[in-house]
Amino acid sequence: MTAPVVIGVDSSTQSTKTVVIDAGSGGILGVGRAPHTVTGESGARETDPEIWWAALRSSLAAALDTSGVSPAAVAGLAVAGQQHGLVVLDAAGRPLRPALLWNDTRSAPQAAALTRALGGPDAWLDRTGSVPVASMTATTWQWLREHEPAVAEKTAGVRLPHDFLTERLCGVAVTDPGDASGTCWYDTRTNSYDPALMELVGLDPALLPVVATGGGERAGSLTKAAAAFLGLRPGIPVAAGTGDNMAAAVGLGLGGAGLLDHPVVSLGTSGTVFTATRTRPTAAGLAGFASTDGVYLPLGCTLNCTQAIDKIANLLGLGREDAEPGGDVVVLPYLDGERSPDLPHASGLLTGLRHATGSRQILGAAYEGAVFTLLRVLDDLFAATGHDPESSDVRERPLRLIGGGAKGTAWIETVRRLSGRPVVIPVGEELVAVGAAALAAGAAWGDDPVAVANRWGAGRGRELPAVRRDVTAWRRIEAAFGEVSGLLTAGRG
């Protein structure tokens, strides 16, 4: 008899990754990938949600094919998706327009206006744990109401990306506390939608999915139509799923049944820092998310990470690993504006250039600028959860590096050099999809997904000791950041 397997789906900005996992051992039996198309310029970033649905089928077929597993062995599946994206549906569940993505910065004016309308940042922090910034779902919904009122008027359903796919799978409009907490209309104190905030943005609660108690809760069963589309058997348990960062935390074994207050640095298209904690954070500059399993997942996000550095490498005619320490050069690679700090209209900046400067130093300085920006947010995260960032206890906690950048030597060594902290590179691949698979196991058998992931051991990894912190480089970047911050702020518009 074939051992049962579970399927985890990571529907990210650029692609869908699907994994087939042995439900007993956690071993990855097959992986499939399918690309997405992202369009837009001048701050716009959009994708047709139907692309995600087609990519799910393609990546699932590839994962099953490489695994050699029969579809009959699949015992459950779950989707983790990019956060914040706004999907608006008609009465038949079809998208009315392309989804506005998490890195679409056109709603910066709406974010500022909403912040004022509620009484300032503290009022938002008290209710949602987060202050609206460009691209959070409430701000993009407000942008849609102002710029495309006819579309807003026709909207019969509002979904996050993972909600859209989950509903396609099981026919039930459901989300989870983790992804819902990134909308800025969900109250993390009461674990429910906030009627006053929905009234503020003119949103009918009936348009929203119900909120499950957790991402591993069974949302429903795979419908006959979805089963036929995907080549699976109908009736398979479908979990409520969650956002990509929450799923990564599950895959790492972070949460109520696992590690708490251990920092993670994710190096992807965006850069994120987060930790699972029992402390409800309320700090400007951080997103006070809920986790998917009942604790909190405070998170800081930068818009410019691996994609920005790859762009600079391409402009210089260099490979990703052709970097040297920046020397006198400072690069702040804010090519898409920036979210942390909140500078949606900023652009990339280069300072300290001299005749002796080489292209490899410029690339190295770009790495340093991206890592510096992330580590500043990490210090804010520690402080918001009641920890002194410079205490010996905190500095001895290793940073868990995940995401595509964690496979690159230049990224790893820049993080080590600027942080002066020990680093763990988890052995597990595709941690977001693995976390989603653990949620699928929860839906199939009622297990705690974090405990499942810990049993699988995906969060264990290669440990690298701390190196002497490059304080000189840190202070150089910090000084340059201070000098140009006025110019950056002037670009808010």
Residue-wise pLDDT tens digits, 219-254? 999 999 999 999 999 999 999 999 999 999 999 999
Beta bridge partners of 238: 77, 220
- 3-state SS, residue 47: strand
The pLDDT tens digits of the residues spanning 333-368 come to 999 888 788 787 888 999 999 999 999 999 999 999
Give the model's pLDDT for residue 253: 94
* CA–CA gap between residue 299 and residue 254 (Å, rounded): 14
The pLDDT > 90 percentage for the chain reads: 83
- Residue 297 counted as domain residue: no
Give the lowest-confidence range in 9-13, 96-100, 132-136, 320-324.
132-136
Q: How many helices (H) and strands (E) does the chain have?
A: 17, 24
Q: What is the CATH number of the domain that holds 107?
A: 3.30.420.40
CB atoms within 10 A of CB 349: 16
pTM over 0.85: yes
Q: Tokens representing 229?
A: 């589309």
Is 139 domain-assigned?
yes
Neighbours of 242 (CB within 10 A): 39
Q: pLDDT-derived band of residue 493, with 50, 70 and 90 as boundaries?
A: very low
Instruction: Report which DSSP code applies to 184.
Output: S
| Own/partner long-range contacts of 345-349 (Cβ < 8 Å, ≥24 apart) | 345/43, 345/105, 345/108, 345/491, 345/492, 345/493, 346/488, 346/491, 347/491, 348/304, 348/308, 348/312, 349/484, 349/487, 349/488
Q: How far apart are CA 202 and CA 64, in angstroms?
A: 44
Higher pLDDT residue, 487 or 215? 215
Task: Determine contact, residues 322/451, Cβ cutoff 8 Å.
Answer: no
Q: Is 193 among the domain residues?
A: yes
Span 442-456, average pLDDT: 96
d(CA 161, CA 47): 10
**Distance from C-alpha of 162 to C-alpha of 12, rounded to nearest angstrom:** 10
Position 281 confidence tier, pLDDT thresholds 50, 70, 90? confident
Q: Do the bridges between strand 237-239 and strand 218-221 make them parallel or antiparallel, or are there none, so unpaired?
A: antiparallel
Structure tokens that stand for 224 in this block: 């006959």
Residues 18, 282: Cα–Cα separation, whole Å:
34
Distant-in-sequence, close-in-space partners of 49: CB < 8 Å, separation ≥ 6: 87, 95, 98, 99, 161, 164
- Position 59 in a domain: yes
What per-residue confidence (pLDDT) applies to 110? 97
Over residues 369-394, mean pLDDT: 90
pLDDT of residue 489: 54
At 491 the pLDDT is 46
Cβ contacts of 486 within 8 Å, gap of 6 or more: none
Range of the structural domain that residue 186 is part of: 5-247
Q: Confidence class of residue 487 from pLDDT cuts 50, 70 and 90?
A: low
Taking all residues of the chain, what is their mean pLDDT, rounded to a whole number?
Answer: 94
Buried/exposed 270-301: b ≥16 CB within 10 Å, e otherwise = bbbbbbbbebebbbebbbbbbbbbbbbbbbbb
What is the average pLDDT across 433-448? 97
* Residue 464 CB neighbour total at 10 angstroms: 18
pLDDT bin (cut points 50, 70, 90) of residue 259 is confident
Structure token digits, residue 75: 């015992």
> Radius of gyration over alpha carbons of the chain, in Å?
21
Q: What is the pLDDT of residues 85-119, one digit of tens each?
A: 999 999 999 999 999 999 899 999 999 999 999 99
pLDDT at 343: 80
**What's the pLDDT at 433?**
97
- Chain centroid, CA 446 distance in Å: 26
pLDDT in tens, 409-427: 999 999 999 999 999 999 8
- Is pLDDT of 172 > 60? yes
For residue 403, being part of any structural domain is answered with no
- Cross-strand pairs, 249: none
User: Is residue 161 included in any domain, yes or no?
Assistant: yes
How many domains does the chain contain in total? Answer: 1
Highest mean pLDDT among 54-63, 122-131, 132-141: 54-63
**Predicted pLDDT at 488:** 54
Asked whether residue 122 is domain-assigned, the answer is yes
Any domain includes 282: no
Q: How far apart are CA 470 and CA 327, in angstroms?
A: 11
Distance CA 388, CA 396 (A): 12
Does residue 179 have an active-site annotation? no
pLDDT digits (tens, 9 = 90+) for 187-217: 999 999 999 999 999 999 999 999 999 999 9
Who wins on pLDDT, 485 or 74?
Answer: 74
Q: Which of 22, 104, 244, 448 is catalytic?
A: 244
Q: What is the dihedral of CA 193, 196, 201, 204, to 10 degrees?
A: 60
Asked if residues 293 and 212 have their Cβ atoms less than 8 Å apart, the reply is no
Cα(112)–Cα(488) distance, integer angstroms: 17
